[in-house]
């Protein structure tokens, strides 16, 4: 129980097999939403909303290491979050992912302890 302060907080997203190859799954935590990807390069996670407008990237299409937003077809590089094709011009935040014991985990920044209601 002595986790380092800058160690991410790991949250279970699902089980291996819950995300098909070349697919993406939405993961919500509190009022935040994330997108978790299963690519040929492994699992990755980014913010869940497109940086262009309000569209869930989990509704988009994974092609290799690219996610294409379903709304206006903006494209991002999944491993780095880099915006690759207009109208997406602002990069996505990315988060670490690990697989342990058949579970997929996303590593999110720790919130300050004792946050109020």
List residues binding ligand FES (CB under 6 A).
Answer: 50, 52-53, 55, 69, 71-72, 74, 87-88
State the minimum distance, in angstroms, from the CB of residue 96 to ligand FES. 24
- What value, to the nearest 5°, has the Cα angle with vertex 9 and ends 19 and 25? 15
Residue closer to ligand FES, measured from CB, 76 or 105: 76
Per-residue DSSP letter, 49: B
Minimum distance from residue 51 beta carbon to ligand FES (Å) = 8
8 A C-beta contact, residue 102 and residue 4: no
Smaller CB separation from ligand FES, 69 or 104: 69
Nearer Cβ to ligand FES (33/55): 55
Q: Which residue reads 């993406």 in tokens?
A: 24
- Residue 11: φ, ψ to 5°: -125, 135
Look at residues 14, 35, 15, 34 and name the one whose alpha carbon lies nearest to residue 24. 35
Nearest distance from C-beta of residue 107 to ligand FES, angstroms: 25
Q: How far is the CB of 35 from ligand FES (least distance, A)?
A: 12
Q: Specify the 3-state DSSP secondary structure of 35.
A: strand
């Amino acid at each position: 129980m002595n986790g380092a302060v800058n160690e991410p907080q790991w949250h279970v997203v699902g089980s291996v097999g819950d995300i098909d190859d070349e697919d993406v799954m939405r993961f919500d935590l509190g009022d935040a939403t994330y997108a978790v990807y299963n690519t040929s390069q492994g699992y990755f996670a980014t913010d869940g909303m497109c940086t262009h407008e309000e569209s869930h990237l989990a509704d988009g299409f994974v092609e290799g290491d690219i996610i294409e937003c379903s709304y206006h077809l903006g494209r991002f590089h999944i491993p780095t979050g880099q915006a690759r094709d207009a109208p997406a011009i602002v990069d996505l935040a990315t988060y670490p992912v690990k697989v342990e014991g058949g579970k997929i985990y996303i590593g999110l920044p720790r919130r300050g302890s004792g946050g109020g209601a």
